[in-house]
Amino acid sequence: MTAILALLSLAADLPASDRLCATCHKDIVQRYYGSAQAHGSTMARALYTIDQAAPLLGPKPLTYKLGKYSYTLTGPKYSVTDGATTLDLTLAWAFGQGAAGQTYVYQHQGTWYESRLSFYKETKSLDLTMGAPPGEPRTLIEAAGREMTAKDVTACFGCHTTNSIQSGKVVFEKLQAGIGCQNCHENALKHARTMQPQASLAKFTTEEQSDFCGRCHRTWADIASGGPRGVGNVRFQPYRIANSRCYDAADRRIACTACHDPHGPLEVNAKAYDSSCLNCHSKDKKACSNKQADNCTSCHMPKYEIPGSHHLFTDHQIRIVRPNEKYPN
Ligand code: HEC
Ligand code: HEC
Ligand code: HEC
Ligand code: HEC
Ligand code: HEC
Ligand code: HEC
Ligand code: HEC
């Protein structure tokens, strides 16, 4: 009875396997998934079914115009018309929370597509999906979205879901939307059922952790070899931070988890990060030209908008930012 009562305050849409973790790791599960009172990590909800996404979109139809094409999005219904012909589509999945953008994925005649338009929470409206080709689309189908290759489908769902890929293909019946506990804690279900010890992720070196998170956030090597160059790479933290003079592959004080709780929402109060910087810089505090050197990240980790993203990303290349400098990469 007390166990049941204790579980009542957990999010209602918790996947069954992660609800099981809560019987022993309730604080972590609660922090990660959030509750009516507090946000969890966006990672827990990196994918929604289109019905779950509906409240974000609201009941009113959203519209957009691109050259001769007019778009309407109402719940799962997405239609595009060129004035003469209308293409009516039903969206299947919503990727992301919409802070940087919420992008939709749908099937048309057996093929998966990524919507040309995304919803942006900052502007509460539709705009082009980041990376959508410029100019006027040639056909209605092209106007609606981008055809995804089999590789794209596996990659998108691979990074935004749990337990969905088998032999290189997405198994939709098994898919758990969002990044569940087992996505990072491999084989944890076995630990939960049999009480076998669970491998610890706290033993990773800084570099190993960067690569671990970089499976989705992209590793230094991914970006160094494949790009993008320029401000577009500001969202790839493992790359940016490794290029900073603060970075030391063996020093845990500059690991992702020295600043981020992998089980919690993103901390947005700059002051909260000062202690992480001062773990290494306590002695040079006076060397900093700023006399009231609070909120270190507000000067040394500047925010950039990737064009078209309607969102500010934080540059993890910690540095002295010179006036009118070129974006270093
Ligand atoms: C019946 C209780 C129970 C359940 C259910 C359970 N755990 Fe644990 N777990 C423990 C205990 C006990 C430990 C070891 C002591 C500790 O860290 O609290 C542990 C340790 C861990 C560790 C830490 C390993 C380390 O040394 O750093 C991880 C990670 C973990 N569990 C993940 C999970 C996940 C994910 C689930 C759900 C799939 C889960 N556990 C379900 C009891 C449980
Ligand atoms: C399986 C893929 C995956 C892995 C592994 C992963 N992330 Fe994420 N992470 C994501 C996605 C996807 C988002 C964006 C979710 C959204 O906005 O819908 C995200 C968002 C975040 C955020 C922003 C959270 C918020 O509440 O706004 C932080 C911080 C973060 N990740 C840190 C980490 C760290 C640290 C690690 C390694 C310990 C890690 N991630 C591993 C996929 C992953
Ligand atoms: C290599 C892993 C990876 C792949 C592949 C991937 N994503 Fe993501 N996605 C992430 C991570 C990590 C984030 C969070 C950090 C960021 O915004 O860059 C993210 C963020 C997003 C966001 C913004 C979420 C928000 O809350 O603003 C959207 C939308 C999104 N992805 C859609 C997609 C779609 C659609 C695809 C396939 C065409 C895709 N992603 C493929 C890892 C991935
Ligand atoms: C994005 C990856 C990621 C996800 C998802 C994730 N964890 Fe963890 N978890 C970590 C990392 C990394 C550590 C080690 C933290 C450190 O370096 O100190 C950890 C540590 C733990 C520990 C060890 C004790 C502690 O307090 O740190 C437990 C228990 C645990 N996780 C349970 C869970 C449960 C339950 C869930 C699902 C609600 C979950 N984790 C989801 C990455 C993740
Ligand atoms: C020295 C501290 C520090 C370290 C180490 C660090 N971060 Fe951050 N991170 C921040 C700060 C500060 C923010 C911005 C918080 C805010 O104001 O929104 C941030 C934001 C983020 C975001 C949200 C998107 C954005 O651009 O704002 C993600 C995702 C993220 N970090 C992932 C990572 C990953 C992955 C690693 C490890 C490779 C990492 N961080 C290492 C300090 C750090
Ligand atoms: C793991 C230890 C460590 C952490 C954590 C760390 N730094 Fe550093 N930082 C260094 C080292 C080492 C250098 C190289 C210069 C030196 O030897 O003092 C450096 C250099 C710098 C520089 C000068 C860089 C340049 O462009 O010349 C700035 C500014 C800086 N750090 C700010 C910060 C801030 C702000 C934080 C927190 C967000 C932080 N550091 C976190 C170790 C660290
Ligand atoms: C208002 C902006 C601002 C804030 C806040 C700030 N700094 Fe700085 N910091 C600077 C500038 C500008 C320089 C370059 C000074 C120079 O070249 O004389 C600098 C230089 C540094 C250096 C390099 C010193 C050297 O001699 O190479 C370090 C390390 C540093 N800051 C760390 C920090 C830490 C840690 C914090 C937070 C406790 C912090 N800073 C807060 C603006 C700031």
**Residue 43: closest CA among 232, 213, 210:** 213
> Taking CB atoms and a 6 Å cutoff, what residues make up the pocket around ligand 2?
41-43, 46, 96-97, 99, 159-160, 179, 183-184, 212-213, 215-217, 256-257, 260, 262, 265-266
Residue 94 and residue 48 in contact, taking contact as beta carbons nearer than 8 Å: yes
> Which of 34-38, 66-70, 72-76 shows the lowest per-residue confidence on average (mean pLDDT)?
34-38
Task: Identify whether the C-beta of residue 20 lies closer than 8 Å to the C-beta of residue 244.
Answer: no
Contacts of 199 (CB under 8 A, 6+ apart): 185, 186, 187
Name the residue at shortest CA distance from atom 8 of ligand 2.
Answer: 43
pLDDT at 127 over 80: yes
Give CA–CA dist 15/2, Å, rounded. Answer: 21
The whole-angstrom separation of Cα 231 and Cα 223 is 12
d(CA 149, CA 286): 54
Contact 44, 274 (CB under 8 A): no
* pLDDT number for residue 5: 44
Alpha carbons 327 and 227: distance in angstroms, whole number: 15
Which residue puts its alpha carbon closest to atom 31 of ligand 5? 237
* Residue (of 259, 270, 221) closest to 242 by Cα position: 221
Count CA within 13 A, CB hemisphere, residue 290: 11
Q: Where residue 292 falls among pLDDT bands split at 50, 70, 90?
A: low
| CA 41 to ligand 4 centroid distance, Å | 12
Please enumerate in sequence order all residues whose Cβ is within 8 A of that of 99, keeping only pairs 6 or more positions apart, or say none.
42, 121, 122, 311
> Does the structure show a pLDDT above 50 at 314?
yes
* C-alpha of residue 267 to centroid of ligand 6, in Å: 20
Asked if 66 contacts 136 with a C-beta cutoff of 8 angstroms, the reply is yes
Q: Whose CA is nearest to atom 40 of ligand 6?
A: 277
C-alpha 112 to ligand 6 mean position (Å): 45
- What is the pLDDT at residue 1? 38
- Ligand number nearest to the C-alpha of 186: 1
Residue 19 has pLDDT above 60, yes or no: yes
Q: How far apart are CA 23 and CA 5, in angstroms?
A: 11
Q: Using the predicted structure, report yes or no on whether residue 294 has a pLDDT greater than 90.
A: no
Q: Read off the pLDDT of each residue in 38-43 and give the average, rounded to a whole number.
A: 92
Q: What angle do CA 132, 138, 139 make, to 5 degrees?
A: 100
Ligand nearest to the backbone CA of 284:
7
Q: Tell me the CA–centroid distance for residue 285 and ligand 7, in Å.
A: 8
Write out pLDDT tens, residues 243-262: 999 999 999 999 999 999 99
- Which residues line the pocket of ligand 7, CB cutoff 6 A? 274, 277-278, 281, 284-285, 287-290, 293, 295-296, 298-300, 320
139-198 tens-digit pLDDT: 999 999 999 999 999 999 999 999 999 999 999 999 999 999 999 999 999 999 999 999
